[in-house]
Amino acid sequence: MNVLTINSAPRYQRDNITSYLLVSEDTCDSRNLSITIVDMEPGGIQQVHSHDPEQMYYIMEGSGRMTVDDEQRQVTAGECIFFCSRSRHGLENTGGTVLRYLSAASPSFKKEESGKLWPLKSVDEERE
pTM for the structure as a whole: 0.91
Number of structural domains the chain divides into: 1
Q: Is 22 within a domain?
A: yes
113 has a pLDDT exceeding 80: no
How many other CB atoms are found less than 10 A from the CB of residue 9?
23
pLDDT per residue over 32-52, tens digit each?
A: 999 999 999 999 999 999 999
9 has a pLDDT exceeding 80: yes
Q: Is 2 within a domain?
A: no
User: What is the CA 28 to chain-centroid distance, rounded?
Assistant: 17
Q: Is 3 within a domain?
A: no
10 has a pLDDT exceeding 80: yes
Instruction: Look up the domain containing 104 and give its range.
Output: 11-108
Q: What is the CATH number of the domain that holds 103?
A: 2.60.120.10
Q: Is 117 within a domain?
A: no
Q: Is 101 within a domain?
A: yes
Q: Which of 37-51, 77-91, 101-115 has the lowest mean pLDDT?
A: 101-115
